Structure 1
Amino acid sequence: MRKPQLPQLFNKYQLELNKFTKDFYKKLDDPLYITHKYFLGWIKENGKDDNATGKAFRPSIMMLINEALGGKEKNILPLAMSIELFHNFSLIHDDIEDRDEFRRNRKTVWKIWGEEVGIISGSSMHALASKAIENIDIKDKNKLVELRKIINKTCIEVIEGQYLDIDFESSKEISVENYLSMIEKKTGALIKTSVILGSVLEPSNKKTTEIFKEIGNTFGHMFQIKDDVLGIWGNKDFGKPIGSDILKKKKSFPILKLIQTCDITDKEKINEIFNKKISEEDKTIILNLMDKYKIESYCNSILNDKYKLTISLIEKLDINDKYKLMLLDTNFFLMHRTK
């Protein structure tokens, strides 16, 4: 099987977005923004230059779709920056909520500067994400209103999803369906919106816009379910040992499917394990139950269904074949990625 890789064009988008965002931050000299520059990977904890930026997947998919439809780079870059800043704001707050001390092999903002600064850092990045849209040069004011509505709706959905995720931690019974609704908001909404925003700036027929919405939905689901699969069965490239999410008592898609599928005796065993500190032996018991009920196969079958659905959707798009191939590569990456 070929190695799963994002389109090479994404590297170009990442460099362009990084330069645009750095230029935006040059106008901001308040000490607060040191925390932003650190989290965005531009500087180290000691303030020296660094190059530890993320992959910028969401804005890159937006820029790809915008280019496929003949869009202007000068207008898509402010939108791309807005989405990337919003994504990073949610991660800064997520780290506080989850008590995570490291992200991308670097200390998290709250771990270095404290929870209070972490909250302020994330909230101010959220505000800048909204401000970024002011730089879009659109004569059609109705289009600008539409963009703001889409982004505001997404912000609300992501925050609602974060709340549900926290609420689920103390809930004894969570259905797979409720979990999917949660990830559709927390993870899927921003990916879906990135796809939609890439298509709304330029005139396109209603059918094309609707297809992109469906692609955004499937991309969002695939991204989170694959994360959950890697969190249980691990991968050395992903940096997670096998069963890492079990040790964290994370109620992820595979765990919930196991609870939904297993018999009463095994369900009692699972509840007993999750009601105490989980040992390596407990982790092995859960992994064996996963094998018994073929949970990994089930998760992969769900991913495969969404993968095939996305292929059929991409083939219906009225865009240049080279961009279709890049979207197909992105779909393949989401299906087979190892980190």
Structure 2
Amino acid sequence: MAKVMTTGRPAHEVLAWSRDLVGPALRSAVETLPLSMRHIAGYHFGWLDEHGRPDTGGGGKAIRPALVLLAAEAVGGSARAAMPAAVAVELVHNFSLLHDDVMDGDATRRHRPTAWSVFGVSGAILAGDALLTLAFEVLRADGGPVAGEATRVLGAAVLDLVEGQSADTSFETRDEVSVPECVSMAEGKTGALLAAACALGGLSGGGGPEVIESLRAFGSRLGLAFQMVDDLLGIWGDPSVTGKPVFSDLRNRKKSLPVVAALTSGTASGAELSTFYHHGRPRTSTGQPPASSALTPSVPPPASSALTPAEQVPTAAELTRMASLIEAAGGRAWTQSRADELLAEALAHLASADPTPRPAAELHALAHLLAHRDH
């Protein structure tokens, strides 16, 4: 019989608790890296400035560690027992962010210049590699009875994440991408790690196989909803809140879920949008996007008069038009509606795990926050 829901802490308090609990252990782990990698990683996390001096730059929200800790408590275990898994998951997440910023050419994250734009592409990639390696070392060093299984779960999630990121990158050079393909990409790129966070928490807390699977499914559905909201924010998010430029995904002609839903809608608005995506992509003489374009966003483009129409960088007016076309074609409404459905599916999986009341309430609150956030 499912346990009766009780009142837990609000989501913002849960995230603050997660940051306070995991933060010191995360910093201790990063301190074991070689000095050069420690500097870049410390900058990325907001602990250091570009010169290596202590800083108070904005760090992450600690969503994934919070899921690990709450999942452990939900099966009757302790948050402390899940600390190594929480640290490992956060390290993997930040490995992916460092690489993602390079691949997308994003110049800002958390209201600061991205690591690659300060330390160079090679430095950011190597720092990401170091964080990934450190994640598995943290799990190995724990040496608990589930360390081997935890390593397997995290390794499988990393492979799914990389496959999802690879698909996302491949979409940039394809004229046609289907909604199912885009959903599958998001399941790997984002859903896999949230699923692993919940599974690792259940595993660390001593949950049985069926309960762990229910928690994994909860995280997977929630992760996909999270990515859909992220895609909405990538187009319509407030830059002062998100820390990214307005219409950032459209400027890069990213085939996110709202865009693909609009492009495949069969509407006049979708057809007009396709002219921006299929004929407005910057290309070299070989017909491929220029290799350096994603890595030098701060370099101003040549004068518009020197470019052919197919090479034009979208103007502010064109970006606004693209956003309105996506909305008119139903891409925005479909994405928000599907995110809401996925949230309901996630909560149903959580209920099937029969979680203890207080962590269950806090997982509910956190899930609602992730599916309705503004940054």
TM-score with structure 1 setting the length: 0.90
What are the ranges of 5 or more consecutive residues in structure 1 without an aligned counterpart?
A: none
Deviations 1:77-97 (A, max 9, x none): 121111111111111111111
Q: Does 1:260 align with 2:296?
A: no
Q: 1: distance between equivalents of 2:321 and 2:212?
A: 47
Judged with a 3 Å threshold, the aligned counterparts in structure 2 of structure 1 residues 119 and 294 are, in CA distance, closer, same or farther, namely closer
Deviations 1:221-265 (A, max 9, x none): 0110001112222235334566442232111111100111133x5
Judged with a 3 Å threshold, the aligned counterparts in structure 2 of structure 1 residues 95 and 308 are, in CA distance, closer, same or farther, namely same
AA partner of residue 218 (structure 1): R
1:14 corresponding residue in structure 2: 19
Picking from 268, 279, 297, the partner of 2:333 is 297
Q: 1: distance between equivalents of 2:225 and 2:119?
A: 34
Judged with a 3 Å threshold, the aligned counterparts in structure 2 of structure 1 residues 48 and 211 are, in CA distance, closer, same or farther, namely same
Deviations 1:37-66 (A, max 9, x none): 111211111222123321111011101111
1:179 corresponding residue in structure 2: 182
Helix, strand or coil at the partner of 2:241: coil
Per-residue deviation, 1:28: 4.3
Helix, strand or coil at the partner of 1:32: helix
Helix, strand or coil at the partner of 2:36: coil
What aligned pairs does 1:267-286 form with structure 2 within 5 A after superposition?
267-274=270-277, 275-276=279-280, 277-286=313-322
Q: Does 1:225 align with 2:218?
A: no
AA partner of residue 364 (structure 2): L
Q: Please, which moves more after superposition, 126-135 or 198-207?
A: 198-207
2:35 corresponding residue in structure 1: 30
Helix, strand or coil at the partner of 2:190: helix
Q: Does 1:50 align with 2:86?
A: no
2:138 corresponding residue in structure 1: 132
1:251 corresponding residue in structure 2: 255
1:330 corresponding residue in structure 2: 366
1:117 corresponding residue in structure 2: 123
2:354 corresponding residue in structure 1: 318
| 2:258 and 2:335 in contact (8 A); partners too | yes
Q: Please, which moves more after superposition, 53-62 or 205-214?
A: 205-214
Deviations 1:254-310 (A, max 9, x none): 1100111133x5454323222223223323333333343333222221112112223
Picking from 39, 43, 64, the partner of 2:44 is 39
Q: Does 1:104 align with 2:104?
A: no
| 2:270 and 2:325 in contact (8 A); partners too | no
Per-residue deviation, 1:23: 2.5
Q: 1: distance between equivalents of 2:216 and 2:33?
A: 35
Per-residue deviation, 1:198: 0.5
Helix, strand or coil at the partner of 1:261: coil
* Greater RCO, 1 or 2 (C-alpha within 8 Å, sep 6+): 2
Q: 1: distance between equivalents of 2:105 and 2:129?
A: 18
| 2:65 and 2:90 in contact (8 A); partners too | yes
Judged with a 3 Å threshold, the aligned counterparts in structure 2 of structure 1 residues 237 and 96 are, in CA distance, closer, same or farther, namely closer
Picking from 314, 324, 334, the partner of 1:288 is 324
Helix, strand or coil at the partner of 1:224: helix
Q: How many residues align?
A: 331
Deviations 1:127-180 (A, max 9, x none): 111111123142x3xx32211111111111111111111111001110010011
| 1:270 and 1:286 in contact (8 A); partners too | yes
Q: Does 1:88 align with 2:88?
A: no
Q: 2: distance between equivalents of 1:323 and 1:151?
A: 23
Picking from 168, 173, 186, the partner of 2:171 is 168
Q: 2: distance between equivalents of 1:112 and 1:232?
A: 25
Q: Does 1:309 align with 2:345?
A: yes
CA-atom RMSD in angstroms: 2.1
State, as a whole percentage, how many aligned pairs show the same letter.
Answer: 27
1:238 corresponding residue in structure 2: 242
